[in-house]
Chain A
């Protein structure tokens, strides 16, 4: 099974940097995904980490430590449109694709 923990809510200011943490316990692991979901909309893929370390993609970076069961998503130069839920999803099936998402962290970006 999988046990995934994320903070429920976070608030940050436009232009700032925010780090959203995710801890997990899972049987079988191939990599970890992060998704963004605006209210009432479908989740969209942000990043995938299969190796330990930092993956940078524009304003968004994601870090993974497999030994610690820990990941974080780093958002830089926050914009109002970044207000959304951010979902952590460890990949666990044989095809390297996840099917269990964390509870999500609702980020509010204030002016």
Chain B
């Protein structure tokens, strides 16, 4: 157990639907990052939150949104889903300073859009 919890582990939904993925960071970590990984593709950075505020944004679609709550858990909302959104979605958390211990990843949510 990495300490980063993602739910659900698997999700199957139809095109056009909306889903919410949840992430609880490791205890004490203030930063949360969301990544998308399509089949045989690299990790694509979506968005970062730090202590409740958006810190950086990557190639996140307008149909996608995220937030980090006061208890530091984060949610990634995906709407108007398309077949191409099928992917593994990872959440990672890190300490607030660059101590070099890197990111800790959750086990991911596998989203299948049918």
Contacts and interface: CB of A to CB of B under 8 A. Distances in A.
Interface of A: 30-31, 33, 35, 40-45, 48, 50, 87, 91, 93, 95-104
A102 B42 CA distance: 7
A94 to B, nearest CB: 8
A106 to B, nearest CB: 9
Contacts of B45: 99-101
Contact of B102 (A45, A93, A102): A45
B64 to A, nearest CB: 16
B100 A99 contact: no
B100 A50 contact: yes
A96 B100 contact: yes
B107 interface: yes
Contact of B105 (A44, A50, A93, A99): A44
Interface stretch (B11-19, B65-73, B74-82, B88-96): B88-96
Contacts of B90: 42-43
A36 to B, nearest CB: 11
27 contacts: A31-B100, A33-B103, A41-B108, A42-B90, A42-B105, A43-B103, A45-B102, A45-B104, A48-B100, A48-B102, A50-B100, A87-B42, A96-B97, A96-B98, A96-B99, A97-B31, A97-B98, A99-B33, A99-B45, A99-B48, A100-B45, A100-B58, A101-B35, A101-B42, A101-B45, A102-B42, A104-B42
A87 B37 CA distance: 13
B104 to A, nearest CB: 7
B101 A87 contact: no
Contacts of A30: 98
A48 B101 CA distance: 7
A95 B96 contact: yes
A102 to B, nearest CB: 7
